[in-house]
Amino acid sequence: MRQHCTVNRLRIGGDAPVRLMGVINCSPESFYRGSYIPAGKVYDRALAMTAAGADMIDLGARSTAPGSSPITVAEEAARVDAALSELDGTGITLSVDTRHPEVLDVSLRHDVHAVNDISGLADGRYARAVADSGLPVFAMASLREPGDAAGLAATRDALEAVVKRCALLGIEEYVLDPAVGRWVPERTSEDDWELCRNFSSFLEFGRPVLAAVSRKTFIGDLLGRQPEDRLAGTLAVTTMLVDAGAAVVRSHDVAETADLLQVHAKMRQI
């Protein structure tokens, strides 16, 4: 199986350096309010992130945190359309974070280079739309619903299912995401710590693996801190996951994470 993926000429995995994905949330409902970027500010934030070291930007317009205020698909599509309009022609490598075909359809009118699918292609209608787009995919471990695999064994089963879905759909360019986070009520913080401790095992699928732990609940539960105060904990976990083989780090805090990756690479020099 291929050990790497290419997104807009950006090589991920294999012998490439660890890549940094900056997060832009166009959803005021986001669990981390500091990550919300309103319309009209997306261009400036994206340029600032790339200047600070982001290799690519992941843009979404719907909060997927449990208990978030629901919005319609039409509202999500309008937010994405407005945000991507600000970035057309910039040359920035972009992934769009959605699991709705209608939103993907709007995104494809703009300069997007990958799809971030938290449903892991489990939804047949959306999976076909993603495959038809021809875009590379960041595919999260999901059995039937986003993040519904609780624990290491179930997560490995979900990732195996994702790999099979990609094969059936003819998708060759993809990155696996083990789905760290409180996606469904059945999941606990200990589930997330278990995934992080065993992160290197996900490399056995022969694909690049994404580390997406930025400011998440399991860190807050351990430290007793709200999302705004979880940066140090996030950087500590991120360091361990890069050591364990993460090919991409998804982060709200690009400058700090870029420093981490630079220092880590220096320390690993032989």
CATH classification at residue 118: 3.20.20.20
Dist. CA 102–CA 191, nearest whole Å: 33
Domain count, the chain: 1
Dist. CA 185–CA 166, nearest whole Å: 27
Q: Which domain holds residue 143?
A: 4-267
**pLDDT band (50, 70, 90) for residue 1:** very low
Q: Which helix (H) or strand (E) holds 266?
A: helix 254-267
Q: Report pLDDT for 65.
A: 64
Pick the more confident residue, 65 or 114.
114
User: The tokens 């860190």 sit on which residue?
Assistant: 219
**pLDDT band (50, 70, 90) for residue 87:** very high
Q: Which tens digit of pLDDT belongs to each residue from 198-242?
A: 999 999 999 999 999 999 999 999 999 999 999 999 999 999 999
pLDDT at 67 over 70: no
